[in-house]
Amino acid sequence: MTQEPADMVEAPQPDGHDESVRDSIARLYADGRAYAEAEVERQKRRAGIAAAGVRDAALLGAAALMLSFGVVVAVLVGLILSLAPALGPLGATGAVLGGTLLAVLILLLLAKARIGRMKRAMKP
């Protein structure tokens, strides 16, 4: 067994290895930060596309709703005009008004029943 002299003992390297680890960590941090920024931009873009889609759908739905109101008015006026020869103008107007109010009442009662059913289903 030979003993090594004290000056032959290996001394630690002066930060040569540590710098490459630091560089790797710094590069990893920079890459992670770049990835996070790119992901944030991607999510912003997706949110913008979704918002534009919702806006367009709302505008188209509003236009369709207005047109459907126009159709309902046209049907009611047509009913009045077609019933006028048989019932007279006031009779036709009254008949169409009564029928329309009856339909509204039925729809409101159905809505009330649905709300009641929902409340009962949500009770603990």
Q: What tens digit of pLDDT does each residue of 92-111 get?
A: 999 999 999 999 999 999 99
- Specify whether the CB–CB gap between 96 and 79 falls below 8 A: yes
37-68 residue pLDDT tens: 999 999 999 999 989 999 999 999 999 999 99
Q: Report the C-alpha gap between 83 and 72 in whole angstroms.
A: 16
User: Is the pLDDT at 11 greater than 80, yes or no?
Assistant: no
- Say if 95 falls within a structural domain: yes
Domain that holds residue 117: 21-122
- Specify whether the CB–CB gap between 93 and 80 falls below 8 A: yes
Q: For the chain, first and last CA: distance in Å?
A: 84
- Say if 15 falls within a structural domain: no
Q: Report the C-alpha gap between 47 and 53 in whole angstroms.
A: 10
- Say if 1 falls within a structural domain: no
Q: What's the structural domain count of the chain?
A: 1
pLDDT attached to residue 68:
96
- Say if 71 falls within a structural domain: yes
**pTM more than 0.75:** no
- Say if 11 falls within a structural domain: no
- Say if 6 falls within a structural domain: no
- Say if 7 falls within a structural domain: no
- Specify whether the CB–CB gap between 57 and 44 falls below 8 A: no
pLDDT attached to residue 1:
52
pLDDT attached to residue 124:
76
Q: What mean pLDDT, rounded, does the chain reach?
A: 87
User: Token digits for 2?
Assistant: 């030979």
Reported as a pLDDT band with limits 50, 70 and 90, residue 21 is: confident
- Say if 32 falls within a structural domain: yes
